[in-house]
Amino acid sequence: MENNSNVILKKQSAYFASNQSKNTKFRIEQLKKLMRVLKANENLLNNALYKDFKKSAFETYETELAIIYHEIKLAIRKLGSWSKTKRVSSGLSNFPGKSFIIAEPYGNVLVIGAWNYPYQLSILPAVSALAAGNTVVIKPSELSLNASQAMAKIINDNFEEEILHVIEGGVEETTVLLKHPFDFIFYTGSTAVGKIIMHAASENLTPVALELGGKSPAIIDADANIKMAAKRIVWGKFLNGGQTCVAPDYLLVHQSIKKELILEIENQIKLIHGENPMYSEAFVRIINHRHFQRLIKLIDKEKIIIGGNTCENELYIDPIVLDNISFDDEVMQEEIFGPILPIITYEDLDWAIAQIKDRPKPLALYLFSNTKKVQQKVLQEISFGGGAINDVIMQLANSKLPFGGVGHSGMGNYHGEYGFKTFSHHKSIIKKTNWFEPWFKYPPYTKGKLELIRKILG
């Protein structure tokens, strides 16, 4: 493994040094090829996710492939303008001069993906990295093994290994990879492993983007549209079996509307997933036994008000709602990352805001309220990666919005042009003519010269 990855990395390094990946036509060709390869292998990709999660082809398209296709098309269309050298004004101190910024690729990039949306979380960063002119190694998560194998097959069969290559493996293989002096590392996964990645990267002073997790709250205030809130929350929370980094982790519900909201949530679960979600085509399974066991331990049976059925053989857990939860409950001590929805009640919005602010900055935050003042207050007072008002998750579907966390939920962002920027170094250049040079910047420093630079520099 070490030798094999060494050979590939040396090839990628030599390839980048040859400058071929910097050519915009070349980048567009790679992106077009990626699109062709993915489209031609949709069946393989769908089957792999079905094996990993029992995920339907519909959902694989909706939450994985459609987003990748959109990102590739966007990059192809916009590459010309994104990669164009940008002129900026030079200011008096550089008169007469021209100033510009060149977006240059970092070089050899490592993308480490997570298992919950294995295609999107590995391929989307790779699209941005290729668009920016880098070479890319993808290390998908070993937990979604079938998806990892499918990506390795279709990418490694179709791309030169010096440009884009998938290296499969788990902790051991990733640890070996992390010893290489990559020029950029893009990691998606847990906050705990994010620290390991950042630590390893620091040995080579490699810049990183960390797309991490955490507990993302949804606040449902007294004047929310309850029916719509319940509909959107149920869709977003139980999508992918709750294994979505930006899913609402828990609800903070105003006590005056709690009863009504719970009834609506129950209705919506039945509407979307039927009387028994175990047979719903739209309800995916827990990724493995370790996570199943972890989730079971988070369920306080006394506090279940909706659902409760589980089956380890099937890796199935019902959509479960827990009521009368406090921040001291077990389920509130870690990111849930499964189909369990705790409800915490509040009377005073300031208290709810203070509770969120007392904890690590969330990756996402959702507010259901129709009062502008409340919306402004929450947006102004709480720091979080990104979110939505009166919806969940859908901020991700707009590639004009940067996607990323803050603090413990991550650093750096991507999607659309933000992805291109993340994988580019912005090289600043000032270009001078030779017909003028300000004599007053040179010693000896006189009073007169000081007066002059005070006037010029302000």
Q: Within 10 Å of residue 161's Cβ, how many Cβ atoms?
A: 19
- Active-site annotation holder among 64, 71, 211, 264: 211
Is 231 exposed, middle or buried, given 0-12, 13-18 or 19+ CB atoms closer than 10 A?
middle
Q: Does 245 bind ligand NAD (CB under 6 A)?
A: yes
Residue ranges in 147-176 that form contacts with ligand NAD under rule CB under 6 A: 170-171, 174-175
Residue entry with tokens 């139980």: 238
Helices and strands (H, E) in the chain, number of each type: 16, 18
The answer to whether residue 211 is catalytic is yes
Q: State which of residues 338, 405, 412, 416 lies at the interface with ligand NAD (CB under 6 A).
A: 405
**Which residues are CB-neighbours of 186 under 8 A, at least 6 positions away?**
109, 110, 111, 112, 125, 129, 208, 209, 211, 412, 414, 422, 423
Q: State which of residues 68, 363, 365, 411 lies at the interface with ligand NAD (CB under 6 A).
A: 363
Residue 341 near residue 251 (C-beta atoms within 8 A): yes
Return the number of the residue (15 or 337) whose C-beta is nearest ligand NAD. 337
CA count, 13 A, side-chain hemisphere, 146: 15
The two three-digit tokens of residue 399, written as one number: 């590639």
Return the number of the residue (79 or 340) whose C-beta is nearest ligand NAD. 340
Q: Provide φ and ψ at 128, rounded to 5°.
A: -65, -40
What are the C-alpha distances in Å from 203 to residues 56, 113, 134? 42, 21, 21
Closest residue to bound ligand NAD by CB: 213
Return the number of the residue (211 or 221) whose C-beta is nearest ligand NAD. 211
The Cα diameter of the chain in Å comes to 86
Stretch that binds ligand NAD, among 59-67, 115-123, 154-162, 313-321 (CB under 6 A): 115-123
Q: Does 96 bind ligand NAD (CB under 6 A)?
A: no
Q: State which of residues 105, 125, 189, 338 lies at the interface with ligand NAD (CB under 6 A).
A: 189
- Distance of alpha carbon 356 from the chain centroid: 21
Residue 178 near residue 5 (C-beta atoms within 8 A): no
**Which residues are CB-neighbours of 207 under 8 A, at least 6 positions away?**
106, 183, 184, 185, 201
State in angstroms the smallest separation of the CB of 359 from ligand NAD.
15
Q: State which of residues 145, 212, 218, 230 lies at the interface with ligand NAD (CB under 6 A).
A: 212
The answer to whether residue 347 is catalytic is no
Q: Does 116 bind ligand NAD (CB under 6 A)?
A: yes
- Active-site annotation holder among 59, 71, 245, 335: 245
Q: State which of residues 74, 110, 112, 230 lies at the interface with ligand NAD (CB under 6 A).
A: 112
Return the number of the residue (264 or 335) whose C-beta is nearest ligand NAD. 335
State in angstroms the smallest separation of the CB of 175 from ligand NAD.
5
The two three-digit tokens of residue 12, written as one number: 């990628």
Return the number of the residue (135 or 243) whose C-beta is nearest ligand NAD. 243
- Distance of alpha carbon 363 from the chain centroid: 9
Stretch that binds ligand NAD, among 77-85, 188-196, 259-267, 321-329 (CB under 6 A): 188-196
Stretch that binds ligand NAD, among 4-12, 186-194, 272-280, 340-348 (CB under 6 A): 186-194
Rounded to the nearest 10 degrees, what angle do helices 118-131 and 42-53 cross at?
Answer: 140
Q: State which of residues 162, 183, 318, 335 lies at the interface with ligand NAD (CB under 6 A).
A: 335
Q: Does 121 bind ligand NAD (CB under 6 A)?
A: yes
Residue 71 near residue 124 (C-beta atoms within 8 A): yes
Taking CB under 6 A as the rule, which mask of x and - marks residues 123-142 in contact with ligand NAD? ----------------x-xx
State in angstroms the smallest separation of the CB of 93 from ligand NAD.
41
Q: Which residues bind ligand NAD (CB under 6 A)?
A: 112-116, 121, 139, 141-143, 170-171, 174-175, 188-190, 193, 196, 211-213, 245, 335, 337, 363, 405, 410
What positions carry a catalytic annotation? 211, 245
